[in-house]
Amino acid sequence: MKVYVAKEDTKLSGFTDDVCAAASFCLRTLLKNRDVRVNGVRVCTDVPLKKGDEVAYYLSAAQAARTGFAVLYEDDNVIVADKESGVNSEAVFSALSERGEAHFIHRLDRNTAGLLIFAKNAQAAEELLAAFRTRRVTKAYLALVVGTPSQKHAVLTSYLKKDAASATVRIFDRPVGEKIVTEYEVLAPGDTALLQVTLHTGKTHQIRAHLAHIGHPIVGDEKYGDHAFNRAHHATRQRLIAKSLTLNTGGSLAYLSGMTFVSAHNF
């Protein structure tokens, strides 16, 4: 059994996605079997939650074993986790927080697999946040896109503006919103091409929206993708992996400078 307390008004499904990846994978089954209790009462639907409500998930051993991530590296200061696609970054943070002190540093989209780094103390969090802010962290991604870009290698510069109403972003070639820089290299051309993508800025949905903007959306992307292509190829989840993370850190984390971590996920 896993027990959590709601910190705000929400729905059971959203709450589950953020606090317990193991339960989110099988929530329909848990509800069907009435293996979820809210304030001690069994529920069978996606009920609303109030702040302070206690939610208990009665998971089998097999259900509980699927955590949604693996720990690639851990020491006294940091944890590097390798997240599955379909798992919220918040759920990884929740699981790590159950083990001890943890600090959120950055996020990946739910359907993006790959690397996340967390701090285990305030000093490490301060250094990691500074490293991300000053672009001393290099993040490389693998992306499978529709079609092959005409240039084998390019550094794309555009502008990104958030649309809060639709929870999406829009890309412009003129100065509107925030400047973004996305670099890509074609690793394997074809009807779907494999790209290595390096972020020089890290904005919401940057890779997904920027590649769609140049006519090569990520396969399986439901927000920015080619919906007809996705349906025809039964692509229901975006093919994007945060593949490597290289640190250039100082202070208490100077010993990590130059280290590169690589995700085990592939297409």
Specify whether 221 is catalytic: no
Those residues of the chain that have pLDDT short of 70 are none
Any idea what the CATH number is for the domain that residue 224 is in?
3.30.2350.10
77 and 41 share a domain?
A: no
15 and 80 share a domain?
A: no
Total of domains in the chain: 3
Contact assessment for residue 131 and residue 247, using Cβ atoms and an 8 Å cutoff: yes
Any idea what the CATH number is for the domain that residue 48 is in?
3.10.290
Degrees to nearest 5, angle at CA 158 with 153 and 162: 130
The one catalytic residue among 109, 173, 191, 221: 109
Listed residue (44, 48, 25) closest to 35, CA to CA? 44
Write the pLDDT tens digit of every residue in 71-102. Answer: 999 999 999 999 999 999 999 999 999 999 99
Supply the pTM of this predicted model. Answer: 0.93
Domain with 45, as residue range(s), is: 2-65
Does residue 267 form part of some domain? no
* CA dihedral for 112, 132, 130, 259, sign (positive or negative): positive
3-state secondary structure of 172: strand
Residue tagged 């946040």 (tokens): 129
